[in-house]
A and B are shown apart, each in its own frame.
Chain A
Amino acid sequence: MFSYTFQWRQAFQKLPLLLDGALVTLQIALLSMAMGIAFAVILAVSRNSRSWWAHAPATAWVEVSRNTPALFQIYMAHFGLGSFGIYLSPYVALLVGITFNNAGYLAETFRGALRAIPATQLRAARSLGMPSIQAFRLIILPQMFRIAFLPTTNQMVWAILMTSLGVTVGMNTDLAGITQDINVRSFRTFEIFAIAAVIYYLIAKAVTLGARLLAARLFRY
């Protein structure tokens, strides 16, 4: 049969280390989502713009981020930029890569949401004397976030799981990095990865739940 002996106790002794890593993972995911959402709003609006200088770079960003592997995007942030003398630490490179990816996907989600809002909403706001930026912020943006809410939580889960790609650029403080570290020292591969997987699962669930609670507070209409 097989000769692997499970050593759960030994693996569980590493739990505090893994939980430290989980915090770093959560931090990167939250930061990359916050920045990704901010960039995505700008991209979505630019994509709807009629001027090519706004439209073209935004389209390029969306095309590249959605149609190339996330792994390559993180690689490029670390090693690619390194070729130009711009050195980003694994942490920053991971953050940049995932933010780039998040923004691209979310931009399309937001663009769809913007289209779902009747143009008459903007006309009504402008008719009340609101300048266009104010009308966008007060009338369009809140409705856009409501429409885009569920797909955005999906992307959030995806962002959490994507952080594990950081291992490939030498990231060793997040959950995946620490798991890999413990694995190469202890060879308790199955146990340590199983525990880490459960932690990823719990983080993702916690974030989804948090998002639902937030939605219940924000969207009362």
Chain B
Amino acid sequence: MIEVREVHKSFGALAVLKGVNLNVEKGEVVSVIGSSGSGKSTLLTCINGLEQINSGSILVDGVEVHARTTDLNKLRRKIGIVFQQFNAFPHLTALENVMLAPRKVLGMTKAEAEAIAVTQLSHVGLADKLSIYPGKLSGGQQQRMAIARALAMSPAYMLFDEVTSALDPQLVGEVLDTLKLLANDGTTMICVTHEMSFARDVSDRVAFFHQGVLAEIAPPDQFFNAPQHPRTKEFLSNVR
């Protein structure tokens, strides 16, 4: 379970998170929507400890992420994250990209890591691209590889940070299909997204991020059909 409690975070004078609260249960899929630059992505990088927070706390399976005694490297093994900019490692093939962390971080043998990597890459439809370097892959393929790379660590939680935002419209579908597959498998996911239909179809709950807080959080039916917060109404009418 991920518990976000009254989290405040600012970059210099700019406050981006102003008391965020969010609980995500095991197996749950939560989509976070909201206008650009509102701090949605920052929330994700705070959850895996890439960013410090100013106050409040974030607990993952009861472990406080920002406590000084927390072994972040160990904690991150169970929190996979996929970024908007795919961040493929350009000097490694698709297979090596996915094998690297299981080998070097989890200490698997080459054969074990390779077996897992092949499975994960096949799962996202890249079985025929194993020996290809990221530079020769399309954006959609790179992003699916990045998803496979995160999944190869068998994380308990997956964080997706606008994973389709940098893709051509015709490539968005293939990545969303991969996400749907994961959601149906029961993966616990927090998806920051601008894809309203994805949020509606796949999420257990949808959260609206506005001015540094989660203004509204509700199951998709209620969220899209009967939004309560005036800002949610305004935002939804603009994106439709």
Contact = CB atoms under 8 A, between A and B. Distances in A.
A in complex with B: yes
Interface of A: 118, 120-121, 123-131, 134, 138-139, 142-143, 146, 219-221
Given A130-B105, A131-B73, A124 B91 contact: no
28 contacts: A118-B85, A120-B83, A120-B87, A121-B89, A123-B83, A123-B87, A124-B83, A125-B89, A126-B76, A127-B48, A127-B50, A127-B79, A128-B76, A128-B100, A128-B101, A128-B149, A129-B73, A129-B101, A129-B105, A130-B101, A130-B105, A134-B104, A138-B100, A139-B89, A142-B91, A143-B90, A143-B91, A221-B134
Interface in B33-90: 45, 48, 50, 73-74, 76-77, 79-81, 83, 85, 87, 89-90
A138 B103 CA distance: 12
Nearest to B149: A128
A221 B85 contact: no
Given A134-B104, A221-B133, A120 B85 contact: yes
A129 B76 contact: yes
Contact of A221 (B73, B79, B80, B90): B90
Nearest to B133: A221
A106 B114 CA distance: 36
Contacts of B50: 123, 126-127
Contacts of B91: 142-143, 146, 219, 221
B153 interface: yes
B104 to A, nearest CB: 6
Contacts of A134: 104-105
B173 interface: no
A128 B90 contact: no
Given A124-B87, A138-B100, A138-B104, 15 more contacts: A123-B45, A123-B83, A124-B89, A124-B146, A128-B76, A129-B73, A129-B77, A129-B153, A130-B73, A134-B105, A139-B89, A143-B90, A146-B91, A219-B91, A221-B90
Count class of interface residues, chain B? 20 to 34
A43 B100 CA distance: 27
A130 B106 CA distance: 10
Contacts of B45: 123
By secondary structure, the A interface counts as: helix
Top 6 nearest A-B pairs (CB, nearest first) are: A124-B87, A221-B133, A128-B101, A129-B76, A129-B77, A129-B105
A87 B77 CA distance: 53
Contacts of A126: 50, 73, 76
A120 B105 CA distance: 19
B186 interface: no
A127 B90 contact: no
A78 to B, nearest CB: 41
Nearest to A143: B91
A134 B134 CA distance: 21
A125 B50 CA distance: 11
Nearest to A142: B91
B216 to A, nearest CB: 29
A221 B92 CA distance: 8
A174 B81 CA distance: 56
A29 B50 CA distance: 42
Contacts of B48: 127
B83 A128 contact: no
Contacts of A143: 90-91
Contacts of B149: 128
Q: Which of A118, A123, A124 has the most CB of B within 10 A?
A: A124
Nearest to B105: A129
